[in-house]
Amino acid sequence: MKNVTKFLALVMVLFATQSFAQTKLGHINMQELIALMPERDSAVLKLENYAKELEETMQGMQQEFNTKLQTYQQKNATWTASILEAKTKELEEMQQRLQMFNQNAQQEMQQLQQTLFAPVYEKASKAIEKIGANGSFTYIIDLSAGALIYKGTSSIDLLPEAKKELGIPADKTQPTQFNTQPAE
């Protein structure tokens, strides 16, 4: 809501000045642009491969825990108190390691996503800055940020020009898989 209020205030200031006639507005959907970039595809592939490795490790740990739990359930009635205590403690420690691994894996995935996508976002931002400077735009609004409440006919969609700037084929369309928003 703050962004909408700031945007409305900016528009009112622009209308109040005579320089508004010289204002050149442009818009682009940055999420769509990012989704079309080949660097994004490479980052997604690396992220998916890493996620697969983590999942395989987690499954192996879970399988080991399940095997020990099954043995524990089958034999606990025949064990002495000291063996039962040791096996119980071993299972509790394994369960804690599983939980810790899962938490660490989630954090590592978020960090890797940020690391892999940072250069993609930077490249797209630089392309938009270049287009803005070369096209003498006063403002370029990112439609995916949700800060725009009205899109008039005088606003120019810069996605085709950004595709050209980044060497993305004009007919390439946005894939429908994987979220590309940066983690906060």
- Dump pLDDT digits (tens) for 11-56: 555 555 544 556 778 888 889 999 999 999 999 999 999 999 999 9
Is residue 178 one of the residues assigned to a domain?
no
- Dump pLDDT digits (tens) for 49-90: 999 999 999 999 999 999 999 999 999 999 999 999 999 999
**Distance (Å) of CA 34 to CA 123, 142, 144, 151, 173:** 9, 12, 11, 21, 11
Tell me how many domains the chain contains: 1
**Distance (Å) of CA 40 to CA 47, 112, 170:** 10, 13, 17
From 2, 19, 3, select the one nearest 143 (Cα to Cα): 3
Is residue 175 one of the residues assigned to a domain?
no
CATH number, position 141: 3.30.910.20
Task: Give dist(CA 105, CA 53) in Å, integer.
Answer: 10
Is residue 114 one of the residues assigned to a domain?
yes
What pTM value is reported for the model?
Answer: 0.65
Neighbours of 107 (CB within 10 A): 10
Q: First vs last Cα of the chain: how many Å apart?
A: 19
Domain ranges, residue 59 = 2-166
